[in-house]
Structure 1
Amino acid sequence: MAFQDIVTQTVTGLGYDLVEIDRSAGGLLRITIDLPWTPGQPGGEQFVTVEDCEKVTRQLQFALEVEGTEYRRLEVSSPGLDRPLRGEKDFERFTGQVVDVTLKAPVGAVASASSGGGVSANRKKFRGTLEKAAEGWQIVWSDEPAAKPGQRVSKKRVPAPLQALGFKLDELKEARLASIVDFKGRRPRELGE
């Protein structure tokens, strides 16, 4: 049995989703796991813990030893902030989230691309909000820079228009969640606080 099959069966048998398997030339076997998701469940509220990784590591060490798979080091981890999106289920799970998308071909060469007019014809990388479209998916963004903390913004200023790019999964080279971190931890106060 191939080591990929062993890893897949072990991880799914423990109740986790297998996100990625990476085997390097130096003998490192890196496994990325995530908690299973069902439609209707919020996308980012469950996290893989250290205990989850330990449990999968122990079981994989045993299963790989029984099958005689050679490796020098085994790493089991969560997908992290910049989780790769693979397949329709991941796109459904993270609809409404900010994502980074890289196309296989530039916008001018993509037949299904419907941009808002201001997109360079040789552009392949986009960051925006992921949305379900009539024929596949779309990413929506604005090229207006975000206001800096404390910066005064005129109420008369007209915001930059939103742009959208439609795509199908087979047109993607890579898609990942955008790793946006708020180190300040400040949130707007809710009414009544």
Structure 2
Amino acid sequence: MDLNSLLETTVTGLGYELVDVEMSPRGRTIRVFIDAPEKERGVDVDDCAKVSNQLTRVFEVENIDFDRLEISSPGMDRVVKKEADFERFAGQEIQIKLRIPHNNRRNFQGHLLGCKDGKVGLRLDKEDTELEFNNIEKARLVPKFD
């Protein structure tokens, strides 16, 4: 089983959502970002400790070699990766970077309209646009501070 499948299975089995995984250049540090959508206040330290303890045991059994394991919430500027995430966070402000330019642009910021049929809707200042989901290199929510 590859590492991503192992992480997805373990994290979802504990009742959390696997948001993202980052590896250090030599794979010695594994950073896992989790979310708990049903919890009003999101992920806390106890959630991170629970996932960390379980993953440490699973990695030992599966002979995954690492020096450091970090478990974290996705933060206010969370990464948006899955089509379901683009639907879930509709109405929020988002920054999107494309692999291949769309109308001579690679960087967009606007209000997310959702995702349907492989296209992500985005409301910009002057117009609405649709971006190909498969062309998105990176997307992050833009935090709002009152």
Shorter-chain TM-score: which interval?
0.7 to 0.9
Identical pairs, percent: 38
What is the distance in 2 between the residues matched to 1:75 and 1:52?
A: 12
State the TM-score, normalized to the length of structure 1: 0.67
Residue from 65, 70, 82 that aligns with 1:87: 82
Q: How many residue pairs end up in the alignment?
A: 144
Q: Counterpart of 1:63?
A: 58
What is the distance in 2 between the residues matched to 1:75 and 1:133?
A: 31
What is the distance in 1 between the residues matched to 2:84 and 2:123?
A: 20
Residue from 116, 119, 141 that aligns with 2:124: 141
Which is strand-richer, 1 or 2? 2
Q: 1:158-169 alignment to 2 at 5 Å?
A: 162-169=126-133
**SS of the residue 2:113 aligns to:** strand
Q: Counterpart of 2:99?
A: 104
State the TM-score, normalized to the length of structure 2: 0.86
**Structure 1 residues without counterparts, runs of 5 or longer:** 38-43, 109-121, 143-161, 186-193
Change (3 A) 1:95 1:72: same
1:144-191 CA-partner distances (Å, limit 9, x unpaired): xxxxxxxxxxxxxxxxxx3222122112222111133x2xx4xxxxxx
**SS of the residue 2:64 aligns to:** coil
Give the drift of 1:5. 2.8
Q: Which amino acid aligns with 1:137?
A: V
Residue from 113, 119, 143 that aligns with 1:131: 113
* Of 58-67 and 124-133, the range deviating more from structure 2: 124-133
Q: Counterpart of 1:27?
A: 28
Q: Counterpart of 1:17?
A: 17
